[in-house]
Every structure is written in structure tokens, then in C-alpha cells.
């Protein structure tokens, strides 16, 4: 039981940091793609992932609801 509580304490923030990093990569790559005349989807997806990651890092339930709204 104690191990589960410890996992619950750090799982969401670590997932949030991973999403933040991937979001930053998508923002930079998406901006570059848009500058070359391509689609702006990856830039917008990166912003969505960045916001989701920040919410999860703060352990806010809105992050869990925001993710599928951007990526489904």
C-alpha cells in the first residue's frame, strides 16, 4: 500500500515533464515546418501538449481531460 502511494505522488509530475519536453520539441519543429510553408498542426499540438504537461506537473486533473480533447 505504501509503494502505491509513493507512485501516485510522483507519476503525474514525471509524465507532465515528459509531455512538456515533447511539447517543446513539437512547438519548435512545428514552427520550422510552418515557416517552410507546411501545416501548423504540429505547432498547435505542441502547445496543447505543453499545457497538458504543465497541468499534470501541478497534479491538476484538468490535464487528464485536456489531453484527449487535443489528440482524439
* Top-confidence residue, 57 or 7: 57
* Top-confidence residue, 18 or 2: 18
Q: Give 54-60's long-range contacts (Cβ < 8 A, gap of 24+).
A: 54/16, 54/20, 55/16, 56/12, 56/13, 56/15, 56/16, 56/19, 57/12, 57/13, 57/16, 57/17, 57/20, 58/16, 59/12, 59/13
pLDDT tens-digit readout, 11-44: 889 999 999 999 999 999 999 999 999 999 999 9
How large is the average pLDDT for residues 39-67? 93
At 3 the pLDDT is: 61
What band does 65 get if pLDDT is binned at 50, 70 and 90?
Answer: very high
How large is the average pLDDT for residues 44-54? 95
Amino acid at each position: 500500500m505504501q509503494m502505491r502511494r509513493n507512485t501516485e505522488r510522483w507519476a503525474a509530475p514525471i509524465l507532465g515533464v515528459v509531455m512538456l519536453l515533447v511539447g517543446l520539441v513539437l512547438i519548435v519543429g512545428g514552427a520550422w515546418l510552418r515557416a517552410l510553408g507546411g501545416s501548423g498542426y504540429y505547432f498547435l499540438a505542441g502547445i496543447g501538449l505543453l499545457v497538458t504537461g504543465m497541468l499534470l506537473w501541478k497534479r491538476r486533473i484538468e490535464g487528464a481531460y485536456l489531453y484527449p480533447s487535443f489528440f482524439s
